[in-house]
Amino acid sequence: MTAPPRPQRRKLGSDARAAYVFLAPALIGFTVFVVYPLIRSAYFALTQYNGLSVPKFVGFDNFRRMFTTDPSFWPSVRATLLLVVLYVPLSLAIGLALAVFCNQRMRGVSLLRTLCYLPVVLPVVATITLWKFVFNPQVGLANQVLTWLHLPTSEWLSGSDSAMPSIVIVMLWSVGSTMIIFLAALQAVPTELYEAARLDGAGPRTVFFRITLPLISPIMVLQVVLQMVTALQAFNQPKILSPDGMGGPGFSTRVLMLSIYTNGFPSLGRVAQLGYASAQVWVLFLVIVVLIAATARFSSIWTYSDHVS
């Protein structure tokens, strides 16, 4: 070791080398598992491809077929949007309400938080299959409770009108994760603001709508986006809960993800339609992008920001 102390420039070089070594796995992964599939799936969407033969370029035929002749496409768009419309507002409202409720100083509040969070901890497949039995029309807990309360019972998953709401109930049972995120946001609101408002004689409602809600609005936007993406990509619930595993009864719970799955990964002798499924992937992807962009744009109008000066 007779080398003189290294000059500054060499040191930067060694830093950079180390950085690329440390980043190598993530960079390889990013290229192979993000960039490559993105390009490839755009290409697949324009081809007819069964996974075995060479993909045959067909231009926009897949999209034409989707929008005009496929009898299951529009029902699956409807099912997907119904899921979003039911799930997103409810999960936000219930999650926020629970967070506000669990943010009060009461004995046992931490136990309540744990209980609300419990369903999130359980494996998704375990909770979905549990609810499949809860919704059993004859011997399930759901109808049993309704009978005790002298309320009309329901067919739940086997009724074409009640199937999607039932799926939404199962998804809402895991609202604890939304609650925890809102709780963290609520606890970050400075208490001086509440004290000041109280001194000014503001009631709890005014405090909530004038102080709490504006201050947590960035988290609200994040949640809208997260829950929307969750709902648009819901797969496990419709797949496991539908009686036929294909989004039945009828097409009532055949969301786009399930449609993509049945076309792209067929079982029981049906031919794979990877090209057609990829086209559906791109439709779903564009819907996600448009909804996120719209949320972001819309949110700048009502999100509170403190850069007023």
Partner 1 sequence: MKTSPPTAPPPPDSAGAARPRGRAARAASWYTVALLISSVMILPILWMFTVALKGPSAVFEVPPKLLPHEFHFKNFIDGPKAIHFPRLLLNSLVITGLSVIGGVMTSMMAGYALARLRFPGRRILFYVFVGSMLLPPVVGIIPLFQLFKDIGWYDTWLPLIVPAWLGGNPLFIFLARQYFLSIPQSIDEAAKVDGAGHLRIFVSVMLPLTRPAWITMSILAFQMSWNDYLNPLIYLYSSQKWPLSVGMASFVSQFAGQTPDWNLYMATNLLYMLPPLAVFFVAQRYFIQGLSALGTVNQR
Interacting positions 149-208 with partner 1 (CB under 8 A): 173, 176-177, 180-185, 188, 198, 200-203, 206
CB of residue 188 to partner 1, shortest distance in Å: 6
Q: Give residues 236-265 in contact with partner 1 (rule: CB under 8 A).
A: 236, 239-240, 245, 257, 260-261, 264-265
Tell the smallest beta-carbon distance from residue 269 to partner 1 (Å).
14
Asked if 300 touches partner 1 (CB under 8 A), the answer is no
Instruction: Residue 220: count other Cβ atoms within 10 Å of its Cβ.
Output: 19
Dist. CA 286–CA 280, nearest whole Å: 10
Smallest gap, in angstroms, from Cβ of residue 122 to partner 1?
Answer: 5
CB nearer to partner 1: give 32 or 85. Answer: 32
213 is a contact residue toward partner 1 (CB under 8 A): no
Of the ranges 2-10, 18-26, 67-75, 157-165, which one interacts with partner 1 (CB under 8 A)?
A: 18-26
Using CB under 8 A, pick the residue from 81, 90, 229, 246 that binds partner 1. 229
Measured from the CB atom, the residue of 252 and 259 that comes closer to partner 1 is: 259
As measured in angstroms, the least distance from the Cβ of 118 to partner 1 is 6
Question: Which residue, 19 or 93, is less far from partner 1 as judged by CB?
Answer: 19
Are 277 and 260 spatial neighbours (Cβ–Cβ below 8 Å)?
yes
CA 205 to chain centre: 30
Choices 29-37, 70-78, 79-87, 156-164 (CB under 8 A): range interacting with partner 1 = 29-37
The region of 65-73, 74-82, 144-152, 160-168 touching partner 1 under the rule CB under 8 A is: 144-152
Smaller CB separation from partner 1, 85 or 286:
286
Query: Least separation, in Å, of the C-beta of 40 and partner 1?
Result: 4
Q: Binders of partner 1 among 70-99, rule CB under 8 A?
A: 98
Our CA angle for 11, 15, 20, nearest 5°, is 150
Residue from 85, 115, 271, 290 touching partner 1 (CB under 8 A): that is: 115
Q: Which of 126, 151, 271, 294 binds partner 1 (CB under 8 A)?
A: 126
User: According to CB under 8 A, which one of 22, 67, 298, 302 is a site residue for partner 1?
Assistant: 22
- Residues 6 or more apart in contact with residue 51 via CB below 8 angstroms: 272, 274
By CB under 8 A, the count of residues binding partner 1 is 99
What are φ and ψ of residue 270, in 5° steps? -80, 150
Distances (CA, A) of 1 to 4, 5, 303: 9, 10, 60
Query: Please, what is the minimum distance in Å from the beta carbon of residue 291 to partner 1?
Result: 11
**β-pair partners for 57:** 47
The candidate with the shortest Cα–Cα distance to 252, out of 243, 260, 265, 263, is: 243
Does position 266 bind partner 1 by CB under 8 A? no
